[in-house]
């Protein structure tokens, strides 16, 4: 059999551009449960297999969700509202009531009413009921009060909070398919217009529906032993309504580039390229499926490298370390010194590397320098602005070269992340 020639940097850049088009243009919606999400996972699995990587897929149940807008009226006046993602739809007329704090909410009789949440109550996105990795007590109390209160529907007046909701404005206060109280959201300005109507009848029609569906994780692996694993991960899903270029088509592209660069890998440690499906979905079902599948096996994972938000057109790439053993840390610093695109970055928790860190596994979070430096003020992720035009495929390829060098060094020499 004729030996396959290694692709040049220019060829890898061109291939990355085609991957970006496939994931963000030809595939218009990668939200979990959607047809586009299934197309993306099938494309990834097929491409990894064609590069000689044995592939496994893991299926799990999920909800797809569709909406056709919402209307809110009080008398002759209309207010701009949007169905909350994964909310049930509704068509009703009821008195309007409002709460701005948890104390106000606890004191109100909301049964049978449309409840306007604003002010302090609407300052940050409420964590979904099934999100086990971070769920503050105050959020759980708010949900419990709402579910016990018996309101007919919620109207949420929100502002701008990239720390919990990305760059979208206004943001949905609730994004939770396990929360069955119908809800819509609006801007703070619309909320101020609506607030004087408390006590009056309002009509709300939200045209939204949940659709039972499924999603898949994709994992490909090579290496001599499954008892020494390095898991390189990226989430393949995206928020509805966004192309999801740096969140996170670029992470998937780096996985594909690594599959190309490491197609002849035969080291001691098993390298797993894992595409999780659900980081931008309310219940992180792909991540939960991975946790279940690896129950009792996390001790075999020496290191996680998670790629999320890489390849922004400005600046280079951050490698952010979490609890690296000295030998791995030394190898990382060697790679950083040899690759101008890469530098050490600050720790950040909004990514799938946190799953591994919580299990006591060393991790490296890989993202764009610009993105992490502007994490609390960027207005890109979860919006239509997250499109292929903001991506540097040159940066993606150079990042993949750096990661491939690190993985070969760690895997072939069997460098330990921790003792089993």
Mean pLDDT, residues 88-100 taken together: 98
Mean pLDDT, residues 106-110 taken together: 97
Give the pLDDT confidence score for residue 174 in this predicted structure. 97
Give the pLDDT confidence score for residue 5 in this predicted structure. 77
Work out the percent of the chain whose per-residue pLDDT is above 90: 86
Mean pLDDT, residues 147-172 taken together: 88
Instruction: Provide the pLDDT confidence category of residue 413 given band limits of 50, 70 and 90.
Output: low
Give the pLDDT confidence score for residue 191 in this predicted structure. 97
Question: Residue 72 pLDDT > 80, yes or no?
Answer: yes
Domain ranges of the chain: 9-64+213-413, 76-199
Q: What does CATH list as the number for 9-64+213-413? A: 3.40.630.10
User: Would you identify the CATH topology of the domain 76-199?
Assistant: Glucose Oxidase; domain 1 (3.50.30)
User: Taking the model in full, what pTM does it have?
Assistant: 0.90
Give 415 or 200, the one with higher predicted confidence.
Answer: 200
pLDDT tens-digit series, residues 227-274:
899 999 999 999 988 999 999 999 999 999 999 999 999 888 999 999
Question: Residue 82 pLDDT > 60, yes or no?
Answer: yes
Give the pLDDT confidence score for residue 4 in this predicted structure. 66
pLDDT tens-digit series, residues 32-65:
999 999 999 999 999 999 999 999 999 999 999 9
Question: Residue 355 pLDDT > 80, yes or no?
Answer: yes
Give the pLDDT confidence score for residue 164 in this predicted structure. 67
Give the pLDDT confidence score for residue 418 in this predicted structure. 36
Mean pLDDT, residues 280-292 taken together: 92
Question: Residue 420 pLDDT > 70, yes or no?
Answer: no
Give the pLDDT confidence score for residue 407 in this predicted structure. 95
Q: What is the phi/psi pair of residue 259, to 5°?
A: -60, -35
pLDDT tens-digit series, residues 160-193:
877 666 778 899 999 999 999 999 999 999 999 9
Question: Residue 2 pLDDT > 50, yes or no?
Answer: no
Mean pLDDT, residues 205-230 taken together: 94
Residue 366's CB is within 10 A of a number of other CB atoms, namely 29
Give the pLDDT confidence score for residue 314 in this predicted structure. 95
Mean pLDDT of the residues in the chain: 93
Give the pLDDT confidence score for residue 233 in this predicted structure. 98
The answer to which of 56-65, 197-206, 406-415 has the lowest mean pLDDT is 406-415
Instruction: Provide the pLDDT confidence category of residue 131 given band limits of 50, 70 and 90.
Output: confident
Give the pLDDT confidence score for residue 165 in this predicted structure. 67
Instruction: Provide the pLDDT confidence category of residue 376 given band limits of 50, 70 and 90.
Output: confident
């Amino acid at each position: 059999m004729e030996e396959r020639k290694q692709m040049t940097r220019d060829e890898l850049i061109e291939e990355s551009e085609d991957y970006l088009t496939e994931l963000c243009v030809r595939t218009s919606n990668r939200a979990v449960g959607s047809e586009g999400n299934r197309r993306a996972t099938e494309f990834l699995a097929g491409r990894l297999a064609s590069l000689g990587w044995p592939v496994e897929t893991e299926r799990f149940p999920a909800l797809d969700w569709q909406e056709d807008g919402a209307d809110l009226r009080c008398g002759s006046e209309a207010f701009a509202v949007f169905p909350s993602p994964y909310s049930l739809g509704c068509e009703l007329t009821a008195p309007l009531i409002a709460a701005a704090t948890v104390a106000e909410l606890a004191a109100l009789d909301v049964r049978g009413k449309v409840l306007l949440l604003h002010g302090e109550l609407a300052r940050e996105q409420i964590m979904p009921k099934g999100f086990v990795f971070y769920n503050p007590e105050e959020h759980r109390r708010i949900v419990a009060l709402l579910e016990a209160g018996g309101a007919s529907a919620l109207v949420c007046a929100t502002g701008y909070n990239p720390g919990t909701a990305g760059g979208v404005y206004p943001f949905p206060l609730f994004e939770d398919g396990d929360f069955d109280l119908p809800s819509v959201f609006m801007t703070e300005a619309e909320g101020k217009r609506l607030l004087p109507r408390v006590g009056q009848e309002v009509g709300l029609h939200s045209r939204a529906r949940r659709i039972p569906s499924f999603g898949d994780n994709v994992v490909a692996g090579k290496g001599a032993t499954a008892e020494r694993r390095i898991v390189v991960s990226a989430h393949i899903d995206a928020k509805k309504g966004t192309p999801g270029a740096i969140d996170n088509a670029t992470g998937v592209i780096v996985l594909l580039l690594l599959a190309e660069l490491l197609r002849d890998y035969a080291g001691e440690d098993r390298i797993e390229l894992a595409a999780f499906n659900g980081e931008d979905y309310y219940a992180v079902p792909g991540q939960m499926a991975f946790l279940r599948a690896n129950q009792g096996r996390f001790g075999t994972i020496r290191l996680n490298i998670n790629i999320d938000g890489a390849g922004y057109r400005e600046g280079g790439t951050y490698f952010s370390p979490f609890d690296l053993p000295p030998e791995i840390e030394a190898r990382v610093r060697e790679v950083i010194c040899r690759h101008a695109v890469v530098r050490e970055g600050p720790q950040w928790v909004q990514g799938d590397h946190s799953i591994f860190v919580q299990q006591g596994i060393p991790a490296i979070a890989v993202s764009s320098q610009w993105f992490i430096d502007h994490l609390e003020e960027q207005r890109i992720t979860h919006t239509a602005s997250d499109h292929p035009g903001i991506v540097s495929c040159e940066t993606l390829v150079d990042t993949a070269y750096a990661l491939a060098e690190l993985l070969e060094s760690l895997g072939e020499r069997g460098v330990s992340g921790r003792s089993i």
